[in-house]
Structures are given as structure tokens and as C-alpha cells.
């Protein structure tokens, strides 16, 4: 005799329904932690920087004087320092990064491509402080020797004297901007150099991955039209990959804006107006690193935190902008 | 008949140690449509890609024998594959317009590679090529819009126009309709008959009915061998080889 086949009940078994709910609750809780940390950070930054913002208002971010002795705090100089170092490092590192990505993805034979790619990624694993030490002990002396060589020429000394008069009156010209104002190699230029190396792996590894992901039929279509390898790269591969590469650039920019220790070690910690590429400067992050420990006075401490708040919003703004740009550049509607 | 446009002589193709195409001899006359048919993995696409030296791009791939295009051995010494490819157009399985370029820029991309900069000439060629691909009426008001805004069938006809723009002596089509719906497929099949006026077509197809509908000659490949090559009518109605008969009557493949 055949047992009739009983249909499965339409309601789910109570046990699985309960474990589903439990899991859902767990995931929700874990996800909320991230949001909570974000909200708390903003809240805490806002609360701690409130005294400074109440004292100076939003002109805290547009005022150029930063003088802990007289209790005057304005972040404009650090804001400029942050943008100048980051953007200059970006301009220097992006061509290098894209070139290395193209080498690894398109030119190098496999036995060479993988080790080189790995080494480039390894650059990202080197601690900041090691970069800082390397810059101080290896790069700075090289720059310092060049600077001393510069002053060996009497004509350059005369130029320096002229520029120094300008600098002392708080001004500079394009020519004077490139005249060294120091002899030890430390300063804005060294910070830019070290940032360039530090952010290189971010753009390079993202660029390499997106270049590898360009479909074979895009390359073949260009080859079949009678293109050389370089024409395939410049007309088919790079345009197709540009949104992804830009994603890597933005990642690098975020890294450069926030990079603290290495920059703090080499930039010369000057809160004056940037007058020379070779002179001292400071970024928002470097001032936080260099001054937070010494900031005993309440307004000073609060101003340092307000720098952090500004840096936070700067990063958020950059990321938001990046998303908009990337969305516009991404190829759409490929069949 | 006059000298053939294309003649393959003892062509063998290897991927590393594996031989994918064995000793193929084949001629293609000017102004004809020629179909390469056979089951998956039979070597028909591999053979097609040997003609414009696409295997040069695959590490480990090797072509032996002679492929003579209009009297010149494409693998001959001193032949530059880049300039040689300008004489041969290619249309791929999936529509692959350049997604960051406009419709217009896609069509003239081959001309720009050849160094043509004159706006009027580019416009002229773009219109002629798009008309040739039966796409002009649909895109003439949106030449500056992204190519990816077109439908799949339109994109494939755009790719045909892109290939036609450089006035190729030979047009290679690698299963050009396999990713398209029946209506788009029919439009492209209609197109091919007209294209015989301006070029010669070599088409790889999975679809035997398509081969029967559009081609003048048919070549049947099996396991890397060219089993049979002849007029399409003959291959489909009175095949000389029993393997061809088994395939065209649908007994395998």
C-alpha cells in the first residue's frame, strides 16, 4: 500500500524561521556598529572643536594666522598645505602609477609581471614612519646637497637675497617659489616626494586590475582596425578603464590628504604662508601630529581638533565628488 | 574565374603543442559570401582569425603554411601585421563598439588610425559606411551620442559599419548574429547580400540555415580538418563526404 505523498506545509518550519530572524538581527547589529562609530566620531570631533569654532566661527578655516602664543588660530595655511602636497603628489604619481600598471598588465612577460606587481603592492605595506625616516636620512641629504650647490653660484645668492626680502614681507613670485629657502632638504618638496611614493601603489594596483579587466574583444576590435599596440592602449584600453583608474586615483588622494606621520617628519612644521617649494610648510594632519601633545591650553587643543574635523569633511567631500565623476565616466550599456 | 582574393595553402594552426587546424586548403573568390560551418571546437574560428593575424596576439599560437590575400602572403617576411589588418575588416561574436566613443567616432575609428583628419572626408565615409550597414536612417540624428545607447542589433550593425569604413578587401565575420534576436539577425543577413558589391565576406556561423541562406560557398570543418568545401547548394544538397551529410542533416553538432 502506497503512503500518500504529503505536500510540504506552506508555512516555514519554526526552527529555520527563528534562526533566520536571529541571523538577520545579528547582521543588522553588526552593520549598525559601523554607522554608530561614524556618527560618534563626528559628534566627538564636533564637541571637542566647538570652543575653537565658537571663538573664531567658520573663518577658522579661512584665517591664515596660527599663533598658539597669542591664542590666534586659523587653519587656512594648513588647508592650503594639505591640498598643495596632495595634489602635487597626485600629479607626480598618477603617470608613474599608470605606466607601471600598463607595464605589468600589457608589456611584461608573466614571470616578470607578477613579482613587479607584488613589489608595487608591497610599497603600501611599508609603515609611514619608515617612509619618514627614509626621507629624512636618504632623500633629504640629496636635496640638501643640491641646495648647497645652488648657493655656490653668486648669481643665485643674489637671487636668494632678493627673494628673501620678498618672503620677509610675506610675498613670493613664481621665480622665488622655486628658490631654496633652506639647506637641510626638509620642507614642502620633500613632503611631496615622499607622498608621491606612498600613494603610488594605490593607483598602480587598482589601475593594473581594471586594465586587466578590459574585455579581450575591445582590444581585438582595435587591433583588427589596424592599430599598433600603443594605439590599442591609448584608444581602447585606457578609455575603457578610465573610470576604474580614476577610482584608484581618488583612493590615493584620500590617502595623501590624511597621511600624517611621514609628512609631519619631513615638512618642516611651519605655519607661515608657503613662500618656497623648498621651505617649511604644514598640513592639517601634520599639525595635529606635531602639536596635539603640546596643546595644553584649551583653545589650542580645540583648534587642533577642529583641524581634524575639517580634514574629515574634506575627505568626505573628495569621496563624494569622486563617486559622481566615476559614475559619469563608467561605460554604460555594453551588450 | 579570375585569381582568387584569398587562398589558404596547407594552413595548420597550433596552440602550443596542440594542433587546432590541420592542413587547410581553401580559396575565396571576390564578391562572394563564404560560410565556415562545423561543430564547436572544430577550428573554424581559429582558421578565420589566422587570416588577419589575430593569433599574433596570443602567446604560444603558431600558424604554418601560406595565406595569400590578393597576391601577397600575409605571413610573408617584411609584412607588417598592423598595416595588413587595415585591408581586412572583422566583426565579432558580441557587438563590441567602443563604449566611450560616439556613434560617429566608432565608425571612423579605423580611418583615424590611418591618419585621416579631414572632417568632411570623415563625415562622408561615416555616412557611406552607415548606409552600407543599413544603420544610417536610425542613427543620423544621434551621431554624437554614445554608441552604447544603441540596441544590440544596432550595435552590431555599427560594428559592421566600423569595419566597412576602411574599405576592406575582405570582411571576416565571427558568428556575428549569435548574440542577437531573430529580427536583428534577419537584418544582418539581408545586409550581407548587398555587401557583396563592395567587399568579400568570410563568415563563421553555428547556424546551418544561416549558411544556407546567405553564402555562395560553404566549408565544413570537423576536428581541425576542412572536410568539404564547395558551392553552398552542393554542400547542403549533395555533400560528397558522409560526415558533411551527417552534419548538415542534423545528425550531430
Nearest-CB residue to B152 (from A236, A240, A335): A335
CATH no. of B1-87+169-253: 3.40.50.300
Residue A125 lies inside a defined structural domain of this protein: yes
Residue A1 lies inside a defined structural domain of this protein: no
pLDDT bucket at A10, cuts 50 / 70 / 90: low
Q: A292: exposed, middle or buried (C-beta count within 10 Å: 0-12, 13-18, 19+)?
A: middle
pLDDT of B28: 95
The alpha-carbon gap from B52 to the nearest alpha carbon of chain A, in Å, equals: 7
Range of the domain at A125: 78-291
End-to-end CA distance of chain B: 34
The number of distinct structural domains making up chain A is: 1
**Beta-carbon separation of B148 and A333 below 8 A:** yes
- Does residue A199 register a pLDDT over 90? yes
Q: For A140-163, what is each residue's pLDDT tens digit?
A: 999 999 888 888 888 888 898 888
Among A77-86, A265-274, A306-315, B119-128, the range scoring the smallest mean pLDDT is A265-274
Among all residues of chain B, which has the CA nearest to that of A330? Answer: B100
B148 touches chain A (CB under 8 A): yes
Residue A148 lies inside a defined structural domain of this protein: yes
Looking at the DSSP assignment, which residues form a beta bridge with residue B221?
A: B226
- What is the rounded distance in angstroms from the CA atom of residue A253 to the CA atom of residue A87? 7
Which regions of A121-169 does DSSP assign to beta strands (E)? none
Q: For A202-228, what is each residue's pLDDT tens digit?
A: 999 999 999 999 999 999 999 999 999
Residue A186 lies inside a defined structural domain of this protein: yes
Mean pLDDT of chain B: 93
What average pLDDT does this structure show over A255-283? 90
pLDDT of B46: 95
A218 touches chain B (CB under 8 A): yes
Residue A114 lies inside a defined structural domain of this protein: yes
Q: Where are the domains of chain B?
A: 1-87+169-253, 101-167
- What is the rounded distance in angstroms from the CA atom of residue A198 to the CA atom of residue A63? 30
As given in the structure block, the three cell numbers for residue A207 are 589601475
CA torsion angle A314 A318 A320 A326 (round to 10): 180
B231 touches chain A (CB under 8 A): no
Residue A111 lies inside a defined structural domain of this protein: yes
pLDDT of A335: 39
Tally A–B CB contacts below 8 A: 80
Residue A188 lies inside a defined structural domain of this protein: yes
Residue A43 lies inside a defined structural domain of this protein: no
| B95 SS3 class | coil
What average pLDDT does this structure show over A51-80? 91
Closest CA to A53 of A65, A64, A44, A61: A61
Mean pLDDT of chain A: 89
CATH number at residue A266: 1.10.3720.10
What average pLDDT does this structure show over A2-17? 65
Tell me the residues of chain B between 86 and 145 that have a Cβ less than 8 Å away from chain A.
86, 88-90, 92-96, 98-101, 109-110, 113-114
**Beta-carbon separation of B96 and A240 below 8 A:** no
Percent of chain A with pLDDT over 70: 94
Q: For B187-228, what is each residue's pLDDT tens digit?
A: 999 999 889 999 999 999 988 999 999 999 999 999 999 999
pLDDT of A122: 92
- What is the rounded distance in angstroms from the CA atom of residue B23 to the CA atom of residue A96? 47
What average pLDDT does this structure show over A5-18? 67
- What is the rounded distance in angstroms from the CA atom of residue A56 to the CA atom of residue A44? 19
pTM of this structure: 0.84
Among all residues of chain B, which has the CA nearest to that of A218? Answer: B96
Element (H, E) at A264: helix A261-266
Closest CA to B191 of B167, B156, B219, B217: B156
Q: For A100-136, what is each residue's pLDDT tens digit?
A: 999 999 999 989 999 998 999 899 899 999 999 999 9
Q: For A154-197, what is each residue's pLDDT tens digit?
A: 888 889 888 888 888 878 888 888 888 878 889 999 999 999 99
Amino acid at each position: 500500500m502506497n503512503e500518500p505523498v504529503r505536500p510540504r506545509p506552506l508555512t516555514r518550519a519554526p526552527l529555520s524561521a527563528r534562526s533566520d530572524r536571529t541571523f538577520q538581527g545579528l547582521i543588522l547589529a553588526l552593520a549598525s556598529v559601523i554607522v554608530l562609530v561614524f556618527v560618534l566620531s563626528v559628534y566627538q570631533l564636533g564637541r571637542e572643536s566647538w570652543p575653537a569654532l565658537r571663538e573664531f566661527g567658520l573663518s577658522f578655516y579661512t584665517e591664515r594666522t596660527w599663533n598658539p602664543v597669542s591664542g590666534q588660530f586659523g587653519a587656512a595655511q594648513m588647508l592650503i598645505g594639505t591640498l598643495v602636497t596632495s595634489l602635487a603628489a597626485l600629479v607626480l604619481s598618477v603617470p608613474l602609477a599608470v605606466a607601471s600598471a600598463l607595464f605589468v598588465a600589457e608589456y611584461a612577460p608573466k614571470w616578470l609581471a607578477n613579482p613587479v606587481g607584488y613589489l608595487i603592492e608591497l610599497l603600501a605595506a611599508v609603515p609611514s614612519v619608515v617612509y619618514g625616516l627614509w626621507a629624512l636620512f636618504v632623500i633629504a641629504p640629496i636635496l640638501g646637497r643640491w641646495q648647497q650647490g645652488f648657493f655656490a653660484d653668486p648669481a643665485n645668492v643674489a637671487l636668494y637675497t632678493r627673494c628673501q626680502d620678498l618672503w620677509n614681507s610675506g610675498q613670493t613670485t613664481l621665480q622665488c617659489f622655486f628658490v631654496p629657502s633652506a639647506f637641510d632638504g626638509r620642507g614642502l618638496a620633500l613632503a611631496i616626494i615622499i607622498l608621491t611614493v606612498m600613494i603610488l601603489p594605490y593607483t598602480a594596483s587598482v589601475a593594473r586590475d581594471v586594465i586587466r579587466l578590459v574585455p579581450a574583444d575591445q582590444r581585438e576590435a582595435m587591433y583588427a582596425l589596424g592599430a599598433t599596440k600603443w594605439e590599442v592602449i591609448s584608444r581602447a584600453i585606457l578609455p575603457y578603464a578610465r573610470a576604474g583608474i580614476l577610482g584608484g586615483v581618488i583612493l590615493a588622494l584620500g590617502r595623501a590628504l590624511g597621511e600624517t606621520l611621514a609628512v609631519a617628519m619631513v615638512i618642516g612644521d611651519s605655519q607661515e604662508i608657503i613662500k618656497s617649494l623648498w621651505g617649511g610648510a604644514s598640513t592639517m594632519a601634520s599639525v595635529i601630529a606635531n602639536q596635539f601633545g603640546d596643546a595644553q591650553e584649551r583653545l589650542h587643543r580645540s583648534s587642533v581638533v577642529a583641524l581634524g574635523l575639517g580634514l574629515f569633511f574634506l575627505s568626505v567631500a573628495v569621496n563624494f565628488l569622486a563617486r559622481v565623476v566615476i559614475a559619469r565616466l563608467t561605460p554604460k550599456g555594453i551588450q | 574565374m579570375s585569381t582568387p582574393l584569398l587562398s589558404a595553402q596547407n594552413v595548420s594552426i597550433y596552440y602550443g603543442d596542440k594542433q587546432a587546424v590541420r592542413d587547410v586548403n581553401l580559396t575565396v573568390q571576390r564578391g562572394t559570401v563564404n560560410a565556415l560551418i562545423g561543430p564547436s571546437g572544430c577550428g573554424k574560428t581559429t582558421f578565420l582569425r589566422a587570416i588577419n593575424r589575430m593569433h599574433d596576439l596570443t602567446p604560444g599560437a603558431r600558424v604554418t603554411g601560406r595565406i595569400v590575400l590578393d597576391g601577397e602572403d600575409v605571413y610573408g617576411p617584411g609584412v607588417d601585421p598592423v598595416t595588413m589588418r587595415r585591408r581586412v575588416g572583422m566583426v565579432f561574436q558580441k557587438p563590441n563598439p567602443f563604449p566611450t566613443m560616439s556613434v560617429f567616432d566608432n565608425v571612423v575609428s579605423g580611418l583615424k588610425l590611418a591618419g585621416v583628419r579631414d572632417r568632411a572626408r570623415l563625415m562622408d565615409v561615416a555616412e557611406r559606411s552607415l548606409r552600407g550597414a543599413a544603420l544610417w536612417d536610425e542613427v543620423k540624428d544621434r551621431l554624437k551620442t554614445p554608441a552604447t545607447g544603441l540596441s544590440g542589433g544596432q550595435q552590431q550593425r555599427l560594428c559592421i559599419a566600423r569595419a566597412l569604413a576602411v574599405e576592406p578587401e575582405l570582411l571576416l565575420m565571427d558568428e556575428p548574429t549569435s548574440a542577437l534576436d531573430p529580427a536583428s539577425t534577419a537584418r544582418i543577413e539581408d545586409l550581407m547580400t548587398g555587401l557583396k558589391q563592395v567587399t568579400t565576406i568570410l563568415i563563421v556561423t553555428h547556424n546551418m540555415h544561416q549558411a544556407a541562406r546567405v553564402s555562395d560557398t560553404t566549408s565544413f570543418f570537423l576536428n581541425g580538418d576542412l572536410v568539404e568545401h564547395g558551392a553552398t547548394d552542393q554542400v547542403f544538397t549533395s555533400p560528397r563526404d558522409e560526415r558533411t551529410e551527417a552534419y548538415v542533416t542534423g545528425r550531430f553538432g
